[in-house]
Structure 1
Amino acid sequence: MPAIVNLLFNTVLTNTTISFTLVLPLVSGLSLLAGLGGHLLLWLVLVGNPRRRCRPSSVLLLNLSLADLGALLTLPCVLLSAASQGWRLGGRTCVLLGFMTSLTAGADVFSLAALAVLRYRIVVQPARTPTSTTHVAITVVVIWLVSVAMALPKVTYIQFDTGCTWSVDRGEWLGFLVPAFLFYYVAPLLCITIHCGFIISHLHCSRGTPAADRRNRKAAALLIGSTLVFAVSWLPYYALEFVNVVSPYVSSAASPVYPAPAPTPADGDAETKVSLLWEVAALSAILLVCLAPCWNPPLYFLLSRPAVRELRAMLPSSARRCLGRKPVRRWRIAPVPPLHPPPPPPQPQNAESQ
């Protein structure tokens, strides 16, 4: 699932009409800065609180954040390659980039699926034995091992000469793309959808305490929001790849390097032309993949008031005053005087009168 490798390095080397040297580096730089800052704050809140970091859901959220940080580390390659209109980082970096893109995408979506299963057990099956931190740690290790095992075959397809391309023919790439689409995209999203459906149905039919219902609704909303971000970010990439596999000569902008037909004398040495519609689609797919690792921290802080309070408590006092809420004026009702005023206190008698 090396989207950046396929889409970027075959698009920027094609005769394009949109300036990739301006749009893509700008968005990638903003995504890198915003993503690193957001995930740093997320780690400060989750790790800084001893009670919060021991929760199984916090462990999975930290694992999800770690996968997003790994994806963000690939963005400097995007910046340099888009700015220079070519690959200037050597063969080892090309192989590492393809591996990291597949690894982080797998760890991301598998962590979301594990979060969905955990939230289902907490909400729908509270009578079962609670999931321990040890079990969640084992789940995290399994997630990374499976992601590594699924990312290693991609490395064998990389062929580095002067650019970063993939040495596969049409049949091999179709046999590679279909399993990746099923295991990286369809199966995890189907698992998340089923468990979220059970959670929403349970919250609608049964009522607990108001605080517990509110907490479960916000946790479900965070899971659904993160899943939608992943689904929307990666769907254009798969759509472009499948279109190229079905019709490999539509464009060379977003596909692996297929064996091209022999040029005819009438063709000469004409450059490969890319339609404006296809270039916009390729650029949109690249931008969505670059922005995907940035959305989880804002969603978390938007749906967790305790996390926002803890984050404000970590800030200096001057920053807290700038971010603090303005005091709300409330009407105060004066106490109603009693109908019968109390009798006056007795006067002390003078000693001389006695």
Structure 2
Amino acid sequence: MDYSTNDTSLPPVYLFITSNLNPFIFVVISLAGLIGNGLVIFCLLYFTNLKTVPNVYILNLAVIDLFFLLGLPLMAYQYHFHDWPFGVVLCKFANGMDVVNQYGSAWTLVAMSADRFTAVVYPLSSMQRRTRSCARMVCTVVVVWSFVLGAFNWIFATVVSFQVDDSGKEEQFCMLDIPANLTSMHIIYSAFNFTFGFAIPLAAILFFYMSIFYIMQTNDFYFRSNAKTAAQRASKRVAVLTIAVIVVFFICWMPYYTVQFKLLLQDMRNEGYTISLSVIQQLSIALCYMNSLFNPFVYTFIGENFRKNLAKLFCYGARNLNRGRSGRDSSSYTRSTVKLQPLKRHKTKATYYPSDVTIDVANERNNNTATTAT
């Protein structure tokens, strides 16, 4: 089933979903996502206290989502009007950024998970390597890797003309035009897409975050009394963010890949598609596009620093932005309040800290040295 078809012989429910419901959902996702990701990008670039290593990955995720959302209204137009008047360049852009967003989002999450895992397992040795410059380099590699994985779409996406009726009238559609001698490639590509766009990234995310959970539960760190509440709240936020990362990614993408796997099996058996499966396919496409809408809320609005800076942005106006940039956040999760205080009989173990929670091991060592000298 081609989503661009306007065949009136198809069931009304299928035509309604492809021609009306999905375009409406795409427009809503695009508008809300552009606003949400735009606010994320502005805040992360403007406010000094948000310029941390984890937020570099969040910024990369927001930029990838933003470029994808710019082309989504064009796809909504084709769904609704069954025509593509925007030319080949925009056709390649819309299809290309679609697949770049698919791979880029997944592998950016992998990079975020690996960064936090490194901070937990190697908190001291990783301090020199976990810099914003290094994070930007990793994000650049992720983007290039996403373009490489999505090269198939960039190459074969083009505008194809179809004759509508006997009068000679033609309609144009933006789609993947695969040469006749490569028609079997779609089976290989579907398997490739599932493996590198979902299976491997999800397995890596689960491994890193489950390891983080394990280390958080088994570490023997002791905190000072004035930071006990802060540490507990920070750990709770880490748990909430971890669960949200896995659940949102899984819910948004699992239905789509499940349907694609079912279609792949039917292609291999030379079986036709049922209307019910085609309807589910269309709904799964809309659901996976919603991932770009949910990302700003999951990865940033959960953070306390981001919410406070956003409140400054809207409640106090532009005249207070300079104060927001220069002043540090008043959150209790700062370098000066959360310090490691292990017992002498325990060896220092790894611990986890999110973007607004750090462990000032260097200051603690200096304090102990000064006390000994006295």
Q: TM-score, normalised by structure 1?
A: 0.73
Structure 2 equivalent of residue 167 of structure 1:
178
Q: What SS does the corresponding residue of 1:161 show, helix, strand or coil?
A: strand
Note the 1:211-230 alignment, pairs <5 A: 211-230=230-249
Q: Distance in 2 between matches of 1:7 and 1:194?
A: 37
Structure 2 equivalent of residue 101 of structure 1:
98
Q: Distance in 2 between matches of 1:300 and 1:84?
A: 35
Structure 2 equivalent of residue 284 of structure 1:
283
Structure 1 equivalent of residue 65 of structure 2:
68
Deviation, 1:124, is 3.1
**AA of the residue aligned to 2:92:** V
Structure 2 equivalent of residue 41 of structure 1:
39
Unaligned runs of 5+ in 2: 162-172, 318-374
Structure 1 equivalent of residue 303 of structure 2:
304
Q: Distance in 1 between matches of 2:203 and 2:312?
A: 39
Q: What SS does the corresponding residue of 1:313 show, helix, strand or coil?
A: helix
User: Structure 1 residues 97-106 or 135-144, which shifts more?
Assistant: 97-106
Q: Structure 2 vs 1, CA of residues 109 and 160 (structure 1 numbering), >3 Å: closer, same or farther?
A: same
Q: Structure 2 vs 1, CA of residues 36 and 159 (structure 1 numbering), >3 Å: closer, same or farther?
A: closer
User: Of the candidates 129, 134, 152, which is equivalent to residue 126 of structure 2?
Assistant: 129
Q: Structure 2 vs 1, CA of residues 83 and 228 (structure 1 numbering), >3 Å: closer, same or farther?
A: same
User: Of the candidates 235, 243, 246, which is equivalent to residue 262 of structure 2?
Assistant: 243
Percentage of pairs with the same residue: 19
User: Structure 1 residues 42-51 or 64-73, which shifts more?
Assistant: 42-51
Q: Structure 2 vs 1, CA of residues 251 and 16 (structure 1 numbering), >3 Å: closer, same or farther?
A: farther
Say yes or no: does 1:201 pair with 2:214. yes
Structure 1 equivalent of residue 148 of structure 2:
149
**AA of the residue aligned to 2:249:** F
User: Of the candidates 244, 249, 252, which is equivalent to residue 233 of structure 1?
Assistant: 252
Q: Structure 2 vs 1, CA of residues 114 and 47 (structure 1 numbering), >3 Å: closer, same or farther?
A: same
Q: Distance in 1 between matches of 2:151 and 2:5?
A: 22
- Bigger Rg over Cα: 1
User: Of the candidates 75, 78, 83, which is equivalent to residue 81 of structure 1?
Assistant: 78
Q: Structure 2 vs 1, CA of residues 13 and 235 (structure 1 numbering), >3 Å: closer, same or farther?
A: farther
Q: Distance in 2 between matches of 1:145 and 1:156?
A: 16
**AA of the residue aligned to 1:182:** T
User: Of the candidates 26, 29, 37, which is equivalent to residue 28 of structure 1?
Assistant: 26
Q: TM-score, normalised by structure 2?
A: 0.70
Unaligned runs of 5+ in 1: 1-5, 253-273, 319-354
Structure 2 equivalent of residue 189 of structure 1:
202
Deviation, 1:13, is 9.1
Q: Structure 2 vs 1, CA of residues 159 and 65 (structure 1 numbering), >3 Å: closer, same or farther?
A: closer
Tell me the C-alpha RMSD between the 2 structures: 2.7
- Number of residue pairs matched by the alignment: 290
Q: Distance in 2 between matches of 1:285 and 1:83?
A: 18
Q: Structure 2 vs 1, CA of residues 187 and 221 (structure 1 numbering), >3 Å: closer, same or farther?
A: same
**AA of the residue aligned to 2:76:** L
Alpha carbons 2:259, 2:281 under 8 Å: kept: yes
Structure 2 equivalent of residue 51 of structure 1:
49
User: Structure 1 residues 212-221 or 22-31, which shifts more?
Assistant: 212-221
**AA of the residue aligned to 1:205:** T
Q: Distance in 2 between matches of 1:14 and 1:60?
A: 47
